[in-house]
Structure 1
Amino acid sequence: MTVQHPAGAPVRPHRGAAGGRHRDLVAVVVFVALAFALGWLVALPLWLGDGLTSPWFPVVAVALMTTPTIAALAVVLLVERPQRKAETLGLWPLTPLRRVLGYGALGVFVPIALVLVALPVGALLGVYPADFVGLSAFRQLLDAQAGAAGVGELPLSVGAIVALQLATLPLAAVLNLIPALGEEIGWRGWLLPKLMPLGTVPALLVSGVVWGLWHAPVILLGYNYPDAPGWLGLTMMVGTCTVFGAVFGWLRLRSGSVWPAALAHAAFNGAAGTYLLFARAGERVDTTQATVLGWSGWIVPLVLVAVLLATGRLAPAAEPSGPARGASVPVAEPSGSAAEPSGPAAEPSNPAPVEPRQD
């Protein structure tokens, strides 16, 4: 009998359950160690130089995002060596196409909605200094930029510029897709399916925590949480990655493909800086409490994940006519009993002209 991982790559039963688990454990350990080592190596120039103010920071940030994919490719090519490598990474096949496209669309719009809804939630809880009507902080920023450029008057109103930026967020998701894919091939493409024998919730939790800790080389320098001590910033980043990694994982598992998760990651990165559009002038935003990076921004996505879990929509989508090539189905437990249905800074790139503060 042949069983399949959620990634869709057929896996023949191991001679012994213990041997199979051991091989998977070795692969996971090698992947995590390599991803972390490469991450620190890429970020080393920042630690030896001017940190986040280094002119090399944009290059380092993009290079850092490629390290999970490099680690996944190394494990697939040198350790596991499956026959269908693209399937093992979740890149192929894109079938059923309608399902992949549908979850791809959700991957664009759900993260944008979660990023934006975090702002009124934070305002209601008193942790986000909002000015949704006057847009005073953004107005102040635009005036400063116009003055520096020698422009007397902006051609559009502040409200029109904000509306234009919001309207282009889906486009930002497409433009950010390739860098986001550099992470997602590793985290959701390879690692999440490999952890699925643990069960949906444990797999999502473990992959989210690993993803969050991987950000340590830049978080400890003050990235995303500039006003927090390093330990607190890293703790909050782990929380953010665990919560949103569950959302990205839902898209990966239900679609059977890494592409919707990559679009979600790209949309998240593109929208994360929108908190600067609606902030009140003269007040600093504490990202440990407000925006999607803080605890108030986790409330709505946690509710979403809880609903998906309660309705059974967090598990991989089953094929109605039985497993087919590329199908996404849960892995059977070695004992023969069915496995629990099983199943994310972030490096947000802020929409121009907003100055980056993020993940």
Structure 2
Amino acid sequence: MSSGDLRSIVVFTALAFALAWLVALPLWLGDGLAVSWFPLIAIAMMMTPAVAALVVVFFVERPQHKARTLGLGPLRPAGRLIGYAVLGIFVSIALVLVALPVGALLGVYPADFVNFSGFQQVLDEQVGAEGMAEIPIPIGALIVVQLATLPTAAFINLIPALGEELGWRGWLLPKLMPLGTVPALLIMGVIWGLWHAPLILLGYNYPDAPGWLGLAAMVGMCIPVGAVFGWLRLRSGSVWPAALAHAAFNGAGATYLTFAKAGEHVDTTQATILGWSGWIVPLVLVVVLLAAGQFASVKHPPAEN
């Protein structure tokens, strides 16, 4: 790695972190996650890695092919790009879902895969609040519809997810690859996880854990999941499959509420994709991909002037 690349990485990381804290500052000065406009702040924070990457590319490095440096192009061969985009969407959803039976088998996720009592309880509360008699659709059918619509989240959440991926996997990961695949993936995961600190330390994702434990868990999750996103970026030659995978991942995150047992507490430091039991499958997947040499970057077609 050249001294110029190292300087760019330091500038990018410092800027992404500083902007994230700046955007989240109103939460710290106000009521934390209870602030009514928290969703807007969270979305704005997701854009900070993209801003940092754009600043570095346009004002620090100034490469000739800026879109390619960010992973935005080229968009060909289209078949490869579309294939990895579709794969990314469904792999992300699968990782979120498979974490639930794994957690149940390990005794850390209170599952109800038969009667869906937790989901039924939520429905009953909603029906009662709206003064309805009951929902005339079987709960099983509702869950099938919910699962079937999960891939649409990849497109609904794409812009915020791209805000992160443009920085993390679009620009930063290729810059780290000269260090070696495993070191690059580990550093990438640690940086990505720690960047979430402004929200995690307020209780986001891990509301029952002390701040240090929540942040450590977030880093633990970001390493294997970020490596999967990194594989999509490197093998497709584009940031778009990773962005769609990230968007689908975020959209599927709340499905653990659908399959939880009514009245039981879910500890996200242990269960769901956020907890240690949820990292097992993505970690195994990453090991298999590494063993198969699947993190080698593809060759781009010649750049057009």
Aligning the two structures, in what range does the TM-score lie when normalised by the shorter sequence? over 0.9
The count of aligned residue pairs is 304
* 2:242 equivalent among 254, 261, 271: 261
- 1:42 has 2:19 as partner: no
- Cα distance, 1:151 vs structure 2: 1.6
- Cα distance, 1:314 vs structure 2: 2.0
Q: Do 2:119 and 2:257's aligned partners in 1 also have CA atoms closer than 8 Å?
A: yes
- Cα distance, 1:92 vs structure 2: 0.8
Q: Do 1:92 and 1:326's aligned partners in 2 also have CA atoms closer than 8 Å?
A: no
Q: CA separation in 2, counterparts of 1:126 and 1:216?
A: 28
- Cα distance, 1:243 vs structure 2: 1.1
1:325 counterpart letter in structure 2: P
- Cα distance, 1:147 vs structure 2: 1.1
- 1:178 has 2:155 as partner: no
Map of 1:22 onto structure 2: 3
Q: CA RMSD in A?
A: 1.2
The aligned runs of 1:237-252 (5 Å cut-off) are 237-252=218-233
- Cα distance, 1:148 vs structure 2: 1.1
SS in 1 for 2:271: coil
Map of 1:60 onto structure 2: 41
SS in 1 for 2:208: coil
Q: Do 1:95 and 1:326's aligned partners in 2 also have CA atoms closer than 8 Å?
A: no
Q: Do 1:108 and 1:173's aligned partners in 2 also have CA atoms closer than 8 Å?
A: yes
Q: CA separation in 2, counterparts of 1:144 and 1:64?
A: 33
- Cα distance, 1:324 vs structure 2: 3.8
- 1:148 has 2:125 as partner: no
1:140 counterpart letter in structure 2: Q
SS in 2 for 1:77: helix
- Cα distance, 1:313 vs structure 2: 1.1
Map of 1:168 onto structure 2: 149
- 1:325 has 2:288 as partner: no
Q: CA separation in 2, counterparts of 1:55 and 1:149?
A: 23
Q: Do 2:76 and 2:301's aligned partners in 1 also have CA atoms closer than 8 Å?
A: no
Q: CA separation in 2, counterparts of 1:296 and 1:324?
A: 41
Map of 1:299 onto structure 2: 280
* 1:111 equivalent among 70, 79, 92: 92
Q: CA separation in 1, counterparts of 2:23 and 2:152?
A: 29
Q: CA separation in 1, counterparts of 2:48 and 2:301?
A: 32
* 2:76 equivalent among 73, 89, 95: 95
* 1:80 equivalent among 54, 61, 65: 61
Q: CA separation in 1, counterparts of 2:303 and 2:121?
A: 52
Larger CA deviation: 52-61 vs 20-29? 20-29
Q: Do 1:103 and 1:260's aligned partners in 2 also have CA atoms closer than 8 Å?
A: yes
2:282 counterpart letter in structure 1: P
Residues 15-44 of structure 1: CA deviation (Å, up to 9, x unaligned): xxxxx7111111000000000000000000
Residues 295-353 of structure 1: CA deviation (Å, up to 9, x unaligned): 10011111111111111112213x4xxx64259xxxxxxxxxxxxxxxxxxxxxxxxxx
- Cα distance, 1:160 vs structure 2: 1.3
Q: CA separation in 2, counterparts of 1:152 and 1:208?
A: 48
2:166 counterpart letter in structure 1: I
TM-score between both structures, scaled by the size of structure 1: 0.83
Map of 2:190 onto structure 1: 209
Q: CA separation in 1, counterparts of 2:210 and 2:84?
A: 37
What percentage of residue pairs aligned between the two structures are identical? 72
1:70 counterpart letter in structure 2: V
The aligned runs of 1:339-354 (5 Å cut-off) are none
Provide closer, same or farther for how the CA distance between residues 326 and 247 of structure 1 changes in structure 2, counting only shifts above 3 A. Answer: farther
SS in 1 for 2:263: coil
- 1:230 has 2:211 as partner: yes
Q: Which runs of 4+ in 1 moved over 3 A?
A: none
Q: CA separation in 2, counterparts of 1:255 and 1:223?
A: 32
Map of 1:4 onto structure 2: none
Q: Do 1:128 and 1:291's aligned partners in 2 also have CA atoms closer than 8 Å?
A: yes
